[in-house]
Structure formats: structure tokens, C-alpha cells
Structure 1
Amino acid sequence: MKKLLIFIVLFSYTQFTHAQDTVRYEPNKINNFRIVPLPAIGSNPANGWLFGVAPSATWRMGDPKTTHLSNLVGNFLYTTKRQWIFSSRSNVFLNEDKWILVGDWRYFITSQPTFGLGSSTPNEIMENPNQPGVYWGEQQMDFSWVRFYETILKRLGDSKFYLGVGYHLDIFSKVDNFVGEEIPAEFEFIHDAYNQSKGFDLEKYTISGITLNAVMENRDVAVSPYEKSFALISFKINPSFLGSDQSSSTLLLDYRHYFPLNPKRKRHLIGIWGLGNFLVSGQLPYMGLPSIGYDMFGRSGRGYAQGRFRGESMVYSEVEYRFPLQRTKDTFGGTVFVNAASFSNRDFNESLFNQLNPGYGIGLRVMINKENRTTITADYGFGQKGNSGFYLNINESF
């Protein structure tokens, strides 16, 4: 495994270096377009080891002085937990950053453990003291997931602020619950008990609607910022006439700020990340509720598996210290991080901040392209109650 990882890093480095031929800027054209069909290897607690292809593309739609670098990352992966993962996620900055197009497309045939709602759910299976006959703790779920999110944002004058609208669609199907041990005859799965109580189907459900978005984009490079900040307010409306099983609305808040500690070595910095996701009205099906690790790139909650915590409302924060490991070069770097999350469970009167779920860890960074800061990241995170995980990805966590 170590030899394979070393080969992939070296292959990626040579491919990106070869792609860095100087290209002169031409107005109204796609400039300096680069695509690299990277072999992919990754790891996280929810998927195990992932293998496949992760094509990555970068380009500019305008003058580099006034136009951010656009990027697209695809994944065609198979995991050691017998999951198939196909995705495409993109941030496209049009000429002079006048418009931004944000896309998140996915098709997963996957599985994931679920533990129940709120911040106080146990690891081991036990009867819920507030709901006789319903058991919480680790329960495995198989499901298929189709996602189509596309957002268009218009810049306000010469500012860093954007307003825009988007369409979002999530379809969960073939949902199947199981546990790998003997269970009581009266056992009822958490997912099924919740969906039945809210009037949703147990095997398939859809969330479809529009988003109203306000963005401040002030980062120097979106995939690996050294300075400045990013903010997002996204209000989602999921009406039944657009295909949602039930009408609902949610509010997503996302803020990130980066503080350089050395003006001569901007890779030496502190990054902070705050994330809030709230059910405002109506009802969402179980898998549509706010959950750890369900941000666009699945990077929140290092120290826990994706989906370990879930609830009607979620608040998450993280602080990360990033630093170079070489005196004059930026190829190798390191990081230490701490995070914390809190979730609500309205059915049992568990409010936000009744309990916090902290995590912490360390990481290694290998920058394989200095111009657009494409970086291989390897992190080990620790959570409460024996939760931990290894995370191998492309680009910084936030």
C-alpha cells in the first residue's frame, strides 16, 4: 500500500509539472486549460479505502489578474466496503469573476452506519430510553443516492459579493437497514421509526427545490487559501410541487477565514471554519437531515465517520494550524486541527449545545502543483468514545 501511494504521488507530480507550459492569455477564450486523469486512492471511516480515477481540471475564463482559477474534480471510485462513487464538483469563475457557477453532481451506490438523532447517541446498540422498542446505536444502511445541485451567482458591481439562485435535487432509494447481530423481536430501526413518524416512505424519498444564495468570495485560491475569507448564506425551499415528498425549508450558513502568520511564508497560517445547517420549516426525511460530513466536499467532522451525528439543526466549528515543513520550499507541510459539532433532536427536547462532540488530529500535506496549490492531504483524526479515522484526499479540508 505504501509503495502504491508513493507511485501515485510521484505520477501526479510529474503529470502536473508537465502540464505547466506557459500559455498566453487570450480574451474571451478558455485559457491555460489543464486536465489530469489522476489515479485515485483515498480513505475515510465511512468508505474504507477508495480506488479509481479522479480527473482534475483547472482553467481560467479571463485575465489572471481579475479572474479566479476555475476547477473541476471528478471521482470514479470503488471502495473496500463494496461501494460505487461517481461525482463531479466544480467552481467556475467567468471572465473578471462576474459570474460563478457551482456544481455538485453525484451518483452513489453506497452504505453507511447511522446512530440516531442528536449529539448524545451511543456507539453500541441499545434501546432508546425515550422511545421503547426503538433502538439507537450503530445500524448499517445500504442505499443509492442521486444528487444534482447547480447554482449561478452574479457579482454585485466590483465588489466581492454575489447573489444567485440554484436548483437542488436529492433522491435516496433502495434504502435497507440491517445489523450484524441478533436483535430482539420488537427491534425497530432508527431510520424507519423516524420516517414513519414523519410520514415518509421507508425505501425511497426525494428532496427537490430551489436555493436563494448570497456569497462573499474573497479567498486568493479557493482550493487551498492562504488568506482572506469566504461566506455563504443559502436558503433552500423544497416545495412538494417541485417533486419533494413533503414541503420544507432549510438555512445553510458557512464562513471561513484565513490568517497568515508570516507574510514571507503565507503557507504558515491559521484557518477557521464555522458551519450551521438548520431545518426552518416542514419536515425532511431521515437522510436529508443535517449531518456531519455532508458538506460539499465531505470534509467536516474529522475524527468521526460521515453520518455519525445527525439532527434537525447542526452547528460545526473547526480551527486548523497549517505550516510548511521545509525552510524555503512549499512541497511538504503539516497541520494540526481541532473541531466540535452539536446537533438537535426535537422529538426528545435535545437542543443545540446540550452536548458537544469534539475532534482533533494531525496531518501531512504534499503540494503537487504550486501554481494552483493542488495538494494531497493525509490526516488522522480522533473523536470521543473511541471514534477515529484516517482521511486521504485532494486539496485542503476547507
Structure 2
Amino acid sequence: MKQRNITKRQVALTLLEMCHGYLILFAIYACVAVISGHGSEPFVRTGFLLFPVNAGLFLAEKKATRFWQFGIVAVLLIGGSVMIAGSGVLGIWIGIMGIVAVFSYFYARASKHPCWLKTPVYPWLGIDLILYFLGQRFEAETAIRIAPVLAALYYLICNFHINLEEVDSFLKTHASLERLPVRRLARINQGMMWMVSGLTAAAMIAAPYLGIDRLIRQAGQALKAVIRWLLLLIPNSPVEEETVATEQAAQMMPAAASGETPWLLQLLYKFLNLIGWMIGIGMVLACIFLIVRALYRLYLRFNEKTEENGDRIERLLPPPAAEKKKNLNRKKKEHLFWDRSADGRIRKHYRKKVLEKLKGSPDSAWTPTQTAGHMELEGADAKVFAQIYEKARYAETSCTKEEMEKMLRIR
């Protein structure tokens, strides 16, 4: 068994990233609850269910080696949270936020990009500010009270995450310096971070009670008045054009209402309306097709540790990281089942013959030439068998029909 040495900093970073995703999901869920008129209901208690959902998906995205394992975890977490939350509006929104988290982790894993639920950054504090003003707009006292707390917690998490990464980089860079008190400097840095961040977080919680929100609204109104005054100084400004257009529309409405539309124009309008519906339906179907196609391609790329299409027979040359160092670029093709090109047929024939001759998969360290040598082929056939496959798999140009027929004749 391979033992993993996980440091305390790595565990702390993982927990901070997990809490970041939960706070973001909870803030979005709280905004939706306030807008939908459920701000006075106990949505905070229901929102706690998003933490196990996010934590389970966070761990499943890292540990699941197959897509079906990740899917089972997602279904169990979302189904269980919705059942606990109930069949009301809040329960439905819990399920929707869970689906958003599932798709986010799935897309990040498949596209090999960092997930937005795992990277703490300061701009996400804007969601808590929006939640606070939504609470005032819809008179939701709970949202007004929790928004500064959420902002303070997220600010602390973001600062602590950045500090841990910087300290970790500092220790790795200067650990070899004997006379430099590296550990002591790291502790001093973290202590200063906690002091400054704690004072700032306390100020964020106390800001609404000090009237800071009123100051922000007044500043916004003053900025709007200044912009409108500057626009009025410009000849033919948008503000003047908007006023003139409103007056002209008011004058033209009675004249248009007094006349009657001819039957030919009515028929033309109905025909155009029908064409519009057909175009709209076609665009919707095209969007659905593109979404399904994109999700299917992401599904094929979900398993990071396997080669494309799950074809273990083709794991013959060095891994992708080593291939990049040797300037070997794999061809990105469709799934072998659908690939009817010469390259696709050659690769499928190669896979079939290797399994047939070797009675199983070859060693993962073998090259195509070594694999062909173990297949008990004739000397010339073994060389051609390996060369044509390497061209179909790695060359920048595609194989010709003659090369495909030559490959298929090798038995």
C-alpha cells in the first residue's frame, strides 16, 4: 500500500476550499429565498443541508475513479437533502443548488480546470452585499442579519487560504537556510494575518449597525445624479433622446389605434409568427443537441487516470506528461465506436488483434514495436503493424486508404 504524507497545511487548505464552496452556495440560495418571498421562513436551517452536499461532492470529485461512482454519490446526497428539506419551495431550491454543484464539479473534473467552488477569491463577497440589500428591499430581517456574518466568515476563509499558500511557498523556498528562523517568521506572519483579518471581520459585522449601508446608497444616488447631469451637457444626449422618444410614442399611439389592419397584413403577420415559432423551436432543439453533445464529450474525459475512450490497449507509450516533454501530441478523435475514418478503423483492428494474439492486455510499458514482437507475427508484418498504428495514433497526418487496407490484411 502506498502511504500518503498529508501535512496539516494541506488538510487546512482542503477544509477551507470545502467551506468556501458551501458559503457561496448558501449565499446564492439565501438570495433566491429572499427574492421568492420566503425570507421570513427558516431558510437558514434548511440551508445547512448544503454543507454535506458540497462536502460529499468535493470528496467524490477527488476520490471517484469512475463516473458512475460520482453519479451515485450525487444522487444520494441530493435526494437525501431534498427529502430532509421537504417538498416545499425551499426543498426544491436545495435540490437545484445541489444540481448546480454537481455540474460544476463534474465540468471542472472533465475539463481539467479548477472548479469555481474550490477557489476562494475576494469578488465573491459581492454576493453577501447583494443579499444584504435584497433583505432590505424585501424586508427580510434574517437576510439582513446573516449577510454581514457570511461576508466576515468568507473574508476570513479567503485570507487564511491565501496566507497558507504563501507560507507554504515561503517554507519550501527558504527551508534550506539554517540561520533564517523560517518557522518563527511563518508563525509571526499568520498571527498578523489573524489580527488584521479579525479586526476587519468585526468591522464588517458591525457596519450595518453603524449606518455604512446608508452611506453606500447615498453615494450611489449621488453618482447617478452626477452621471445624468454630465449627459445633459452633451448635445443630443441619450437622456434628451429618451425623453423625445417617449413623447413621440405617446402621440403616435392614438393615431395607430384608430386605424384597422388589412386582412392581408394580418395573414402575413400570422405567417411570420409561425415562421418565428419554427425558428425558435429549431434553435431550442439545436441548443439541447449541443448541450447533450458537450456533456457526452465531458463524460468521455471524466476519468482523469485513464486514456481517452477507456482503451487500455493504447496505453503503450509514455504517459501524457512525458509525451509533452518529447513533443508527442495525441490525435483528438471521436469515440472509437463512432469513428469510421481510416485512423479509427486501424486503431480498432489493432486493439482486436492484440487481444486475440496475446490473450489479454499487453504490458503498459511496451511500445507498439515491442507489442508486435510478442504477437508472433512475421518480421515484415510486425514492423508494418507497429508503424501504421503509430501513424494512426500519433502522426499529424491521417493514414490513407491503402495503409488501412494493408493493416487489415495482417492476420
TM-score (norm 1): 0.20
Higher strand share: 1
TM-score (norm 2): 0.20
Q: Relative contact order, CA 8 A, sep 6+: which one is greater?
A: 2
